[in-house]
Structure 1
Amino acid sequence: MEMMQKSCGLFVDELASKAAVPGGGGASALVGAVGIALGNMVGCLTLGKAKYAAVEPDILALNEKASALRARLKSLVEADAVAFAPLAKAYSIPKDDPARAAVMESALDAAAAVPLEIMACCCQAIALLEEYAAKGSVLALSDAGCGALFCAAALQAAGLNVTVNTRLMADRAKAARLDAQVEEMLREYPARANAVYERVRARLGGK
């Protein structure tokens, strides 16, 4: 059964088990999908309201982008499981096997690529949630803040799933390039997500 076809309960139970998948990468993608889904919800609750008629075209555009991101993040839950399977097998190859190094390197490349894409999607999601928080219905303002926090957590968690693989790569130049991409995203987007949270909290009367 594909990951996104499982019930929430089964997914969480398998996540808690010793099964190889799902793991941190898939969980990150799922949390990111939940985060941007909250943005979509803000948009849906804003559309059709006279008070927000001026921003309706913007909200429609946001919803279209958010729906595409949500679909991609959901697909990355499965992609992460698929990418990890060859790596799990590679770890079982005897260390004295001449083929092990090449198999490991290829598997590490694939295993790092998926969480890196999860990170990129979460960055895009945070940018959309900034707009949802600024333009969406005040009745759903807290959901925009929640979505931003979820996407920031997913971004940071996916980053760990990149670096756990790059640290083992024999091609250190490639590893450094991937690590630099991770750091660039982490420098900017968690702070942007937290700024959304702080603005939402202030508007809701928090301190």
Structure 2
Amino acid sequence: MDKNRDLTKKESISGERPSPGKETIAEFLEALSSKNPVPSGGGVTAISASLAFSLALMVGNLTLGKKKYAHYEDRLKIRMQEWEEGRTVALRLAKEDEEAFMPLAKAYALPKETEEEKEIYRERMEECLDYASYVPLQLLKLCAETAKSLKELAEEGSKLAISDVGIAAGLFLTAMRGSALNVKINTNLMQNEERKKEREEAVEEALKQCELLEQTVREVEKRI
């Protein structure tokens, strides 16, 4: 996998659009609505996750230092460090999603007239599909790993900002389900059945955490 990742990362994206996380919201939305291949749904899922992490951090900051929630403070500080790291990773994956898609788009355009060209096309496509399915799977797993700590925040965090925990849960659900679609649209074209099965089973395992996020939303509704 590392070989494929190195291969795709060397192929830069043309244009002068700032990296995800460094552009304004208006710039991102303008780029997203254009006919250009990136940013696209993969970037949106990653940004959704980064927004969810940010909301969790906001509620955490509003909870810290309050006597009412002193029993939760030590655990919360650990969780907030995890959420900060998660946001950084999500933004990085937004960029990696673009880096994964561009080589794939180029691979589709490879000539396929001769047997030799067809073989080159198949090999290149398989490499690109491997990486293009790997990136959203990492985002999916990242969100899944956060589900438990977000439910804890819904139960223990400041009640004044509890609705924002519910919104964060919704954003994570969007990121997870969108990432699952982005994995499957690529694995659907893969020839390596073993790798395809491995990726799709990982998707199904991660999606089990959606129920925990749904429970988080219900917990928020009870506390409001």
TM interval, short-chain normalised: over 0.9
Aligned residues: 203
In the alignment, structure 1 segments of 5+ residues that lack a partner are none
Between the aligned partners of 2:58 and 2:91, the Cα distance in structure 1 is 17
Which runs of structure 1 show a deviation greater than 4 angstroms over 4 or more consecutive aligned residues? none
Aligned with residue 17 of structure 1, among 34, 54, 66: 34
Amino acid at match of 2:179: A
Distance 1:183 1:174 in 2: 14
Partner of 2:165: 144
8 Å contact from structure 2 (residues 166, 220) kept in 1: yes
Check if 1:63 corresponds to 2:80. Answer: yes
Correspondences of 1:105-116 after superposition (within 5 Å):
105-116=126-137
2:153 is equivalent to residue 132 of structure 1: yes
Q: Structure 2 CA distance, aligned partners of 1:184 and 1:54?
A: 32
Q: Residue in 1 aligned with 2:47?
A: 30
Match of 1:155 in 2: 176
**1:179 counterpart = 2:200:** yes
Contact persistence 1:39–1:128 (CA under 8 A): no
Is the contact made by 1:87 and 1:108 (CA closer than 8 Å) also made in structure 2?
yes
- The percentage of aligned residue pairs carrying the same residue is 34
Number of the residue aligned with 1:201 = 221
| Residues 36, 129 of structure 1: 8 Å contact kept | no
Picking from 62, 74, 78, the partner of 2:91 is: 74
Aligned equivalents of 2:74, 2:175: Cα separation in 1:
29
Amino acid at match of 2:152: E
- String of CA shifts for 1:48-100, please: whole Å, max 9, x gaps: 11211221111111111111111100111101101111101101112232311
1:195 and 1:41 map into 2 onto residues whose CA distance is 21
Deviation at 1:183, TM superposition (A): 1.2
SS at match of 1:4: coil
Aligned to 1:83: 100
- 2: CA distance between counterparts of 1:146 and 1:100? 43
Q: Deviations over 1:155-177 (max 9, x none)?
A: 00000000000000011121011
Gap runs ≥5 in structure 2: 1-17
Cα drift, residue 125 of structure 1: 2.2
Aligned to 2:186: 165
Q: Secondary structure at the match of 1:44?
A: helix
Is 1:5 matched up with 2:26? no
Q: Secondary structure of the residue that 2:65 maps to in structure 1?
A: coil
Contact 1:115 1:159 in 2 (8 A): yes
Could you tell me how far 1:15 is from its partner in structure 2? 1.1
Which of the residues 52, 62, 71 maps onto 1:54?
Answer: 71
Whether the aligned pair in 1 keeps the contact of 2:63 and 2:158 (CA below 8 Å) is: yes
1:44 corresponds to: 61
Conserved 8 A contact 2:159-2:223: no
Normalising by structure 2, what TM-score?
0.88
Contact 1:66–1:128, Cα closer than 8 Å, also in 2: no
Q: Which residue of 1 aligns with 2:3?
A: none
Counterpart Cα distance in 2 of 1:148 and 1:88: 33
